[in-house]
Amino acid sequence: MRLPLFLKKPYYPLNRIEISKEALLHNYQYLSCLASGIAVAPVLKSNAYGHGLVLVAKMLDDLGAPFFCVDSLYEAYELLKHKIKTPVLIMGYVNPQNLKVKKLPFSYAVYDREVVSAISKYQPHAAVHIFVDTGMHREGILLSQLPEFLSYIKSFGNLRVAGLMSHFAAADHSTNTFTKKQVENFAKAKEIVLSVGFSPKWFHISASGGLLNHETYRGCIGNLARAGISLYGIDPEGKDKNLQPALRLTTTLHLIKKIPKGEKIGYDFTYTAEKNMMIGILPLGYYDGADRRLSNKGFVSINDVFCPIIGRVSMNLTTIDITAVKNPQIGDKVIIYSSKPDDKNSIANSAKICGTIPYDLLVHLASSTRRIAL
């Protein structure tokens, strides 16, 4: 098959997501040194929180992490196809039928008997991490049902239990009494697991919040933490200034217009020019990840000048006020989400404007937007 001519030439994307390998490595090393005796497993689920699953995995593959955490068999298989060497733990539910297809080099979080049975039959070489529900009441086996579940696992005789895991519901809030109760329940689960003869290598209940607040829980959070949002440079509480955001979203100024006072802009005419002004049109919108809630509220930046978003953010277009930009030109680089935490258009500050959390903005970055390693 002959390729179209343009596919044989360099392609210059209008929009791109830039990922700093230096920031990712800094964050991983910082988190690894944060708490004595606690290893760190990078969480790469949901397209590595929007940063790019395979791209981030390749950046971190030589660090010697205990394993990468993903949500699905699909994500794990993507890493396998790209020859990622670091072991992979699938934390989400796996359809037992999909375990029949071929031998797979993954570990699995288990709390479902049917999945346990399928792993024993079709993936007997695999390690499992027992997922116990310590109080969040989402996934996991209830503490009261744990002894019976362990007996069921033991009955197969060929399953290697490599970990005991759970998940905090509110570890970001260090005074939360429910979190302390979860710590107590996790300690009880550990006692039960050890008492029936299993000797897991890994005990992990903490994600970013638990790791960053590890001193609050007095060393009772296990020997491993699953680092998600903190790995990408964001503290859920916004207190830790040692983390470095690894991502920025950029686009290109592609149209400039002079608009007289009184003219209205965008869908539903939600913005009215209060003065003669210069506006710029950007070739990205809420499909690409410029959140629609930033309409008439958010900011982008051009040459270190913050430019308000005006009118509704459209599916593939966004309008900005560039009146304050000195000599704007078609082709100027525009930063939608900045990697500088204090900028008006940082992921954290943009999330505050939207009334949401940074995770929400990150995971809604279009997978079709090119990710570039810096």
Catalytic residue, chosen from 45, 271, 337, 359, is 45
- The whole-number average pLDDT for the span 203-222 is 84
- The whole-number average pLDDT for the span 129-137 is 97
Report the pLDDT value the prediction gives residue 1, as an integer from 0 to 100.
45
Any residues with CB less than 8 A from the CB of 285 and at least 6 apart, and which? 292, 313, 314, 315, 316, 317, 318
Helix or strand (DSSP H, E) at 54: helix 53-60
- The whole-number average pLDDT for the span 272-301 is 98
**Residue range 4-53, pLDDT digits in tens:** 555 667 778 899 999 999 999 999 999 999 988 899 999 999 999 999 99
**Residue range 72-111, pLDDT digits in tens:** 999 999 999 999 999 999 999 999 999 999 999 999 999 9
Catalytic residue, chosen from 100, 239, 267, 352, is 267
Q: Regarding predicted confidence, which is higher, 329 or 170?
A: 329
Q: Sign (positive/negative) of CA torsion 210, 213, 218, 219? A: positive
**Residue range 109-121, pLDDT digits in tens:** 999 999 999 999 9
Report the pLDDT value the prediction gives residue 71, as an integer from 0 to 100.
98
Contact 299, 335 (CB under 8 A): no
**Residue range 305-322, pLDDT digits in tens:** 999 999 999 999 999 999
* Number of C-beta neighbours around residue 347 at 10 A: 28
Q: Would residue 45 show up in a list of annotated catalytic residues for this protein?
A: yes
**Residue range 228-270, pLDDT digits in tens:** 999 999 998 888 999 999 999 999 999 999 999 999 999 999 9
Q: Would residue 267 show up in a list of annotated catalytic residues for this protein?
A: yes
Report the pLDDT value the prediction gives residue 219, as an integer from 0 to 100.
65
Which domains does the chain carry? Answer: 21-227 (3.20.20.10), 247-373 (2.40.37.10)
